[in-house]
Amino acid sequence: MPVVHETGSNAMLGGFGGIAALLARQSSNQDEAVAVLGSRELFDTYARQADLLPILFSNRWDPTNKRWDVPDWRIPTLREGYKLFDNHIRDIDLDRRTGIVTMAITWKDRALAAKWARDLIDLANRQLRDRAIREAQQNMRYLATQMRSGEGADANNALNAALASAYERQLQNFMFAKGQPEFAFRVIDPPTIPDDRERVFPQRILVLILGLMAGCVLAAPAVMLRERMATRRRVKSMPLPAMAGAK
């Protein structure tokens, strides 16, 4: 479940331009969190950390010598790895009604699939948490500068009060991010290793049915061809009829 961070709005800042935009910002970042979870940047970071490319492209990797067993132009890149991962391995679904995000990993190694799901969620939480901390620190520095420049007898009391309120909210955001490991996603159902019979592909019953159908389709022409060849052999082996000579 994406975590929603409510900061509220400040009606007093309608006439203060950029400061008003900064303070009135709603940090309900559900869409941003989901976008980060499926982003190429997140995959690239994790692929480097976990050395994913030799696993994803094992048919091109030489595990004995720890090197790619293909020409240089066929060595997979992170971009190629992301396309494979995003199109065939990872699936992210957002239920707009409930706000629940479901991520599925489909891979031939069940333990690795569960590990990748856990790691990607943790990495997305860390990235968004670190970003929120940096933004809160930057905003606090900006607001502190504005408050110092507005000090004095002629200072606008409404603006000073708004700046102080804004600084307090940014400080709350900073403290929340610092103390909340599940900053962007709160895990409701942790990834688990599926059972052996929880097979996605190939489905054995479907393979059996398709095999029988293919066998029937291929058997009929094969039988017809065999009968035809047998008929030709019989015809060739028959003696020619005797011809009567004419006088």
So where are the chain's domains?
11-179, 202-238
Asked if 73 contacts 60 with a C-beta cutoff of 8 angstroms, the reply is no
β-bridge partners, 101: 94
User: Could you state, in chain order, the average pLDDT of each consecutive group of 10 residues for the chain (247 residues)?
Assistant: 62 46 51 90 96 95 92 94 95 88 92 94 92 88 82 63 84 83 87 77 64 73 74 67 55
Give the ranges where 151-239 is alpha helix by DSSP (H).
157-179, 204-237
Residue 62 — φ and ψ, nearest 5°? -100, 100
- CA atoms of 175 and 134, how far apart (whole Å): 12
Q: What is the DSSP letter of 5?
A: B
| Closest by Cα among 29, 5, 33, 7 to 126 | 33
Q: What is the DSSP letter of 61?
A: E
Residue 5 has a pLDDT of 66
Residue 171 — φ and ψ, nearest 5°? -65, -40
Asked if 159 contacts 150 with a C-beta cutoff of 8 angstroms, the reply is yes
- CA atoms of 224 and 136, how far apart (whole Å): 78
Q: Which residues contact 152 (CB under 8 A, 6 or more apart)?
A: none
| Closest by Cα among 181, 189, 36 to 102 | 189
Residue 8 has a pLDDT of 46
